[in-house]
Amino acid sequence: MALNSLVPDFMIAPLDWLANQVRKHSLWPMPFATACCGIELMATASSRYDISRFGSEAMRFSPRQCDVMIVAGRVVMKMVPVMQRIWQQMSEPKWCISMGACASSGGVFDTYCTVQGIDRFLPVDVYVPGCPPRPEQLIRAVLDLQEKVQRTGTIDAREFADRTAYEGPVPLVSELDPKELVVAPGDYTTGTRFRLPLN
């Protein structure tokens, strides 16, 4: 029996639904892996778990080709400008997965230099708990993201035009009271420290 008799000559479907089906099954991740969660991210692409079943096997290290950033592992303050630059270079529509306790909340690293959740700097769509999370959890996050893409996307990006307020990260403190400001001693115009006279 020929396949031509099974496939209709034309198909009628909403264009948004069709575009969302294509987007949903072709999510290309941009891995931003910094620690042990990165090993689990690599394991997800292996033959045992095979993330390619869901259309996300094409991990590219070029942000202009990716539409999903997977932040796996702890992020320190020095990495934030690099992470934000990569995020800004990705084309719309784009999504973000925060993988692991360190990326989601800082994890056990409650220090001044570790970011206590990347959602302070990037809009996160899906959080993956665990330290480190298993590959099955990342696959579940990809499936959840696919459901979100299926529900919210439009072919002419109407969902972005409908935004009336800023949806990105908000600063924790807008402005400190002048009495609460701490000024470090030093003359930063010359790069030298104030020297106290020795008595």
Rounded distance between C-alpha atoms, residue 35 and residue 57, angstroms? 20
Whether residue 58 contacts residue 25, with contact meaning beta carbons closer than 8 Å, is answered with no
Residue 127 lies in a domain: yes
Whether residue 33 contacts residue 138, with contact meaning beta carbons closer than 8 Å, is answered with no
Its domain, for residue 90, covers 12-159
CATH classification of the domain holding 123:
3.40.50.12280
Whether residue 76 contacts residue 49, with contact meaning beta carbons closer than 8 Å, is answered with no
The model's pLDDT over 59-103, given as tens digits with 9 standing for 90+, comes to 878 888 888 999 998 899 888 888 888 888 888 788 899 998 888
Residue 196 lies in a domain: no
Of the candidate ranges 27-31, 35-39, 160-164, 183-187, the one whose mean pLDDT is the lowest: 183-187
